[in-house]
Amino acid sequence: MIDKLSKMSVDVNILNWGPCIIKLKIIDDLKNILLEDGVNSKIDFRDKLAGIIDNEKGYNQETKNKVVPYLSHYLGVYDQMFERFTGKPYDKKPEYTLTALWCNFQRSHEFNPPHDHDGKLSFVTYLSIPDELKKEHSEYVGRSCGPGGIQFIYGNGPRECITYQSFFPEEGDIFIFPAWLKHWLSPFKSDCVLISVSGNIHDSAPLNAIQNFAPKYLKNKNEEK
């Protein structure tokens, strides 16, 4: 019997578990828009963020309007990957709205502590990773995400469970993930500036549902009186 089992082929499925995170590349056109407008921005965004970073700038509505057509494409990719990840299609496709967009100019010893974001989805994309930081990271000895890295944290469990994902990003990388997912950006020692852009995405469908539901609800209540 044991010999028979050893010769059998077995179909195996590994069940997806936890949040859906995707990583892909943005095109240079989008990267250039975000970089130029981020450098020129005068909007101080620090009071809205958790980062221990001295220079965090918000983008104006004009920049957001330029970014949305590009971002819509990447969110469409996320939706496809999410359906594949969960193994089932959406009952109704999300109707996304870009609600916040800001640029992080992270310097030596600055960092983002573990935190989450507001909204349905969030993203971070990397515009400039200096050679000094790449060298520092290549020389890092340890088991965390390392200098200038990003780490996503989910759930509790023994070492047999995967409770985090760590990356040292490349220029042009964009990570899209659920806004509730805890993540953090590690500090570094090099005298340079790591430039990244983050944003929050809301699903406007629930808001539309509330707006459509409220008048009908009030009308029915009045008719019951």
Interval 18-27: pLDDT, tens: 999 999 999 9
pLDDT at position 47 is 96
Residues of the chain with pLDDT under 50: 206-214, 217-218, 221, 225
- The amino acid occupying position 133 is L
On the 0-12 / 13-18 / 19+ scale of CB atoms within 10 A, 209 is exposed
pLDDT at position 29 is 98
Alpha helices (runs of H) in the chain, residue ranges in sequence order: 2-6, 28-40, 61-86, 131-138, 205-224
- Phi/psi class of residue 74: alpha, beta or left (left: φ > 0; alpha: ψ in -120 to 50)? alpha
